[in-house]
Amino acid sequence: MPFELAEPRSLREAIASLDAKDPSVRPISGGTALMLMMKAGVLRPSRLVSLGKLGLAGIRTGPGGELRVGAMTSLRTIEKSEIVRKGWPVIARTLRTLANVRVRNVATVGGHLAHADPHMDLPPVLSALGARVTIAGAAGERSIPVEELGTGYLETSIRLDELITLLEVPPLGGRSAAYLKCTTRSADDWPAVGVAVSLDFQGDSIREASVVIGAATDKPTRLAAVERILVGRKLDENLLDEAATQELSVEGDLHGSAAYKKQLIRVYLRRAIHEARAQSR
Amino acid sequence: MKRALSPAETPQVGRSLPRLESWLKVTGRAEYVHNLRLPGMLYGRIFRSSVAHGRIRRLDVSAAQAVGGVHRVVSAADLKGIVPDPYYGPAFHDQPVLAVDKVRYVGEPVAVVLAADPHVAEEAAHLIVAEYEELPAVYDELEAMTSKAIVHDALKPAGTFPDLKHLKGRTGTNVALDFHLRRGDAAQALAAADRVFEHRFRTQQVMHTPLEPLVSVAESTDSSLTIHTASQSPSFVRIEVARLLGWPENRIRVRVPFLGGGFGAKLYIKLEALVAVLSLLTRRAVKISLTMEEQFFTITKHASSFRIKSGVTRDGRICARECEVWWNGGAYADIGPRVTQKSGFTAAGPYDIEHVAIDSYALYTNLPPAGALRGFGIPQLVWAYECHTDMMARELGIDPIEFRRRNLLRDGRPQATGTLMRDAAIEKVLDRLAVLLEWNRPFDRGTGVVRRGRGIAIGFKACVSPTTSLAAVNVNGDGSCIVYCSTVDMGQGSDTAMAQIAGEVLHLPAETVRVVHSDTDVTPYDMATLGSRSLFHMGNAVKLAAEDALKKLNQLKSELQMPPDAAIPEIFKKKYGMQAGNVVGTGSFIPSYAPPDYATGLTSDATPFWMVGGSGVEIEVDTETGRVRVARLVNVADVGTPINPKIVETQLSGAAIMQLGFTLFEKMLFDEHGQLRNASLAEYKIPGFLDMPEEIINEAVSAEQRSGPFGAKGVGETGTFGVSPAIANAIHDAVGVRLTVLPLNPESIFMELQKAK
Amino acid sequence: MRRSIQFRLNGEAVSAQVAPHETLVEVLQDAFGLFGARESCGQGLCGCCTVVVNGRAVSGCLYLASFAEGGEVSTIEAGSRLDAVQEAFIECGSLQCGFCTPGFILMTRQLLEEHPEPDDDTIRHYLSGNLCRCAAYPQIIEAVKLAARKMRQT
């Protein structure tokens, strides 16, 4: 229970406060997820390094029209940002039903992505949009796709002495994107399945497709077979149904059995595609 | 807030007065035990069993004891000097203050760490090590009937309550109580019936989840004990703690401020005996606040199984019914035997059936204990008999409302026990449901993926009997009035209702009447705040007390030769020469009662009043996912004449929405070792804003309970009765599949849809 | 391990000795005797522990007290007169046991700041992170709308 709280004033100081070998030293941003882990006793930190005073918050567009969001930007700020609403409406819409207002007020996008709970909504959406994060460490910065962040349940490719500093989302361009999730208990439950699609329609056919699901698997998973079926031809829902779950290892949990979750993936995939198509018109 | 002392010019009963404590609650100032801190107080953290059934072989608390800041670690062995026989319970003395030798469910309290800092206590509790010799366990109520795993080797009936005096249990089995009712000859009538229908239904284990988790504080001296507790039953707590300690009642004081919800979770004894002995042991004030998670290991609602079989004549009259109900009581009986009996005798439903046989069994299993939850077992029964009713109506090709109407139990007719129905507006409730649902107009059934359906259900309940309430009404020298009663306001608005009743009698505006909260040093005995009994029983007691005060005031007036319209302050002034003195009226209420015959369950006077509630729904089913959306929820009830119509409405709607959670998704999930897998609000979901039906209509039919205070009777549970079967009936109406197990979650509906294809 | 932090609490400059692990709701209760924010689910799901920090509602049971340093903290106890939201909750009978009520009122104030004329869908979504086990939800929707009307009139 007792731990030290470090509040560094610079990124360099923050990284120096982390420990490459000691998993009990953890960065904390909004803390909404870490506090839950601490209360449940699954995390017993010796030191928490607060990122609140690093000045890593802010939203702007970059030279290539990309969205640049500082890692310490709250989810609520992103949700309400005019830049995001106009340029990446799927992100604002997704945030509206992510946890609740209080959590979104406090939780940051960097913390959200670093937590890597497979039930979270943004990772599949950002993966489908081709977003990248910048990760800073003692040796400098590296940039990786959001899709490569999660490596398993609550596991990421971020090293213990590294921090996410920036999220970059490429411009939507001609793509239309949708995210649908399905809860199986109360409406505010963690989703049983989340489906994110980003589709570039050309008339009735699709020029480019990106489809990523969350919640049903231990990390967000790209449905490559579905993407192949979608690209360059007319939609065939029977083909789609089969492709939707063929490559997936879905595990049953408290939200539903594996078989039921596969059904939800098939249904919500179709619905997400329809929603994206409706937006493209 | 202006509180005029001028006499009320309008009737107080029937006013939709905002709750008296509204200001306290909207400013965060309402008093809850949660808020209480006492000088030198220790916090207790409970160490709980990790096995479902086992003998405690070793308990090592040394590491916990060694943690800096830990005052003491206490287990059952430490209690012997204070409580020689540390078992409590309202029906059986079966539950130990802390586990003695054996544990009987995962989560049972085994030891407590005491520390001034609650974080230290929590940290240290993790360091306690227990070793168990595991014993065979039983979890299912049907298996418990014949299982070789026996939860209790010996049964010790409590004998506290008159309606449970006959309890003895069946030694060598898991049966805590079996209740039997025989009216006519059901077997023969079934054999002679034109059609016979038999169905089985189940309900799941759920939890009350009051948002203020259970919390109790005790402080003691050498000869006295004060318990501040979030309890619905302060009088019982005092009696039971006094019994455990071998003390007279007057050395124990039990105080209860507001409760942050109760719903039956905070009844009888929960943490009170534990904090009492810990305080006596340490001579410090001790507080135990459960976390939301720990509540799941403390009290729950019975899972149940129900076999129901009916014989029907050619013209759609139910002539015979057999009911077998099995209640999963968990490891300790709590009030399960009363649920088994009191609800058991209404298991045949609000129908006029000549031949009825009911067998109802309270069973011990190795799960967290089950007690009463907003309905005392009635929602489990209505779930079964109202699904059964619809299934028969559809088979017979009779409209479900018409089928019910043909069979309704009408006033003046004997209920299954033989008690005559009085002031039970069953038919009116059914009629109003049909009207509000526009049952006879064409209904849009939807097309494509989303199909629509509608359904109704009605249920009834007999209020628990015989129970006692006492009250005192004090009129001060200035004419202001204080009501003393031990009814606990846990959100149902009892303070306001009692003030309205006293105000009505004394011609005072209800908002000027003060209601003193339960304090057994001050407020008289009350059986408990449960089972929708308070408005009727305590309401009658308060009315009698106010009338007694009025009578005494009038006597004074005539003694002092004052005119009949003399103001109250003038009476006191004349009597005492100044603003001084007071008049105390007292009231005591216990209804008449005749215990059921042990063999037949028959009685001429089963209950002081009947509660009647029904619900109708319009729903949409997503046939690709099985998800159900409730578009419209209509709740209709007979609550007698409402004392406060607005509060009645919120009670009906709140109860129905709570039942919506129990219907659609709430469920405690156990693994094969009796480990609960979802003990948190992250994994045990309760209804939130987005689960609300788009439209909710609540109606109290025009009715009168002639024996109630100003025609009123209880309402807290009524809204729960019909919700679950109404939704199952609507699902069947929409997509043609019949679910018989709660909850009606999307996956089970989808799987049934697949089977039906 | 304890250290002193300074912040403004309901408009007054205050300081408190806090340990790193202590949450804002613990400090409000133990150091300042304010019990309107209270822990219930302990997971940020029920909203009983709602506190407003720097103008934004947070779950006080998941918020380290240290993070309030230098900030402006506001609780249900702020102010000496009832506001339109509190009045509306009373008039609409939107409270039963009252345990969740302060959280709902603080969230409703924020909702009405952002959406002065909210429709049902906006209300339901904004308040979906607050639970009421007594289920006064229909009456809370009424109160939000009444409060909005009251605020427009003044």
B685 → closest Cβ in A41, A182, A186: A186
Collect the ranges in chain B with pLDDT lower than 70: 1-6
| CB within 8 Å of chain C, chain A residues 119-178 | none
* A100/C67 CB distance under 8 A: no
Q: According to CATH, what is the number of the domain C3-74?
A: 3.10.20.30
Q: With beta carbons under 8 A apart, name residues in chain A contacting C64.
A: 5, 28, 31, 35
In this structure, are residues B285 and B271 in contact, taking their beta carbons and an 8 Å threshold? no
Q: Which residue of B has its CA nearest to C94?
A: B650
Walk across the sheet containing A4-6 and list its strands. Answer: A4-6, A47-50, A25-28
Number of Cβ pairs closer than 8 Å across A and C? 77
What b-and-e string marks burial along B614-634, b requiring 16 or more CB atoms within 10 Å of the CB? bbbbbbbbbbbbbbbbbebbb
Q: In what order do the strands lie in the sheet with B469-476?
A: B514-516, B481-485, B469-476, B582-589
Return d(Cα C124, Cα A97) in angstroms, integer: 11
What end-to-end distance do the CA atoms of chain A give, in Å?
A: 55
Q: Enumerate domains of chain B plus CATH numbers.
A: 22-30+467-589 (3.30.365.10), 40-137+208-295 (3.90.1170.50), 300-464+597-756 (3.30.365.10)
Exposure string of B11-50, with b = 16+ CB inside 10 Å and e = fewer, is ebbbbebbbbbbeebbbbbbbbbbbbebeebbbbbbbbbe
The Cα B349–Cα B355 span in angstroms is: 13
Q: How far apart are CA B519 and CA B516, in angstroms?
A: 8
Contact A2 C20 (CB under 8 A): yes
- Which residues in chain A have Cβ-Cβ distances shorter than 8 Å to C56? 76, 105-106
What subunits touch chain A, counting only 3 or more CB pairs under 8 A? B, C
ipTM above 0.90 for this complex = yes
Query: Average pLDDT of A167-181?
Result: 96
Contact across the interface for B665 and A257, Cβ inside 8 Å = no
A152 pLDDT above the threshold of 50: yes
CA distance B28 to B515: 19
φ/ψ bin of A230: left (φ > 0), alpha (ψ from -120 to 50), beta (otherwise): alpha
d(CA B24, CA B19): 10
- Out of B163-172, C67-76, C100-109, pick the least confident: B163-172
- What's the CA gap between B542 and B534, in Å, rounded? 10
Sole residue written with tokens 């009647």: B612
CB B487 within 8 A of CB B494: yes
Confidence at residue A1, expressed as pLDDT on a 0 to 100 scale: 61
Of residues B262, B492, B647, nearest to C93 (C-beta): B647
The span from the CA of B714 to the CA of B716, in Å, is 6
Count Cβ neighbours within 10 Å for each residue of B386-419 and write b for 16 or more, e otherwise.
bbbbbbbbbebebebbebbbbbbbeeeeebbbbb
The alpha carbons of chain A give a radius of gyration, in whole angstroms, of 19
Q: What is the pLDDT of residue C93?
A: 97
What pLDDT shows up at residue B4? 45
Give the Cα separation of B112 and B570 in Å (integer): 58
Helix (H, G, I), strand (E, B) or coil at A127: helix
According to CATH, the topology of domain A176-280 is: Enolase-like; domain 1 (3.30.390)
pLDDT bin (cut points 50, 70, 90) of residue A238 is confident
**What's the burial of B222, exposed, middle or buried (CB within 10 Å: 0-12/13-18/19+)?**
exposed
Can you tell me whether residue A36 is helix, strand or coil? helix
Q: What is the DSSP letter of B713?
A: -
CATH classification for the domain delimited by A59-169, as one of 3.40.640.10, 3.20.20.330, 3.30.465.10, 3.60.21.10 = 3.30.465.10
Separation of alpha carbons B517 and B515, rounded Å? 6
By CB neighbour count within 10 A (0-12 exposed, 13-18 middle, 19+ buried), where does B431 fall? middle
Please report, in angstroms and rounded to a whole number, the separation of the first and last CA atoms in chain B. 64
According to the model, what pLDDT value does residue B745 have?
96
Q: How far is B746 from chain A (nearest CA, A)?
A: 6
Ranges in chain A annotated CATH 3.30.465.10: 59-169
Identical fold between C3-74 and C84-153: no
CATH number of C84-153: 1.10.150.120
Is the CB of residue A188 less than 8 Å away from at least one CB of chain B?
yes
d(CA A200, CA A197): 10
Asked if C105 and C131 touch (Cβ cutoff 8 Å), the reply is no
Whole-angstrom distance, CA of residue C55 vs CA of residue A35: 22
Residue C29 φ/ψ, nearest 5 degrees: -75, -50
| Domain regions of chain C by residue span | 3-74, 84-153
Give, as one character, the DSSP assignment of residue B548.
Answer: H
B270-302 residue pLDDT tens: 999 999 999 999 999 999 999 999 999 999 999
Contact assessment for residue B446 and residue B615, using Cβ atoms and an 8 Å cutoff: no
Cβ atoms of C30 and C73 within 8 Å: the answer is: no
Smallest CA-to-CA distance from A39 within C67, C41, C130, B117 is with C41
**Bridge partners for A231 per DSSP:** A206
The residue type at B15? R
Which chain A residues have a beta carbon less than 8 Å from that of B691?
186-188
**Per the structure block, which two tokens stand in for B408?**
């309704």
Dist. CA B496–CA B513, nearest whole Å: 9
Considering only CB atoms, C90 lies closest to which of B26, B213, B689, namely B26
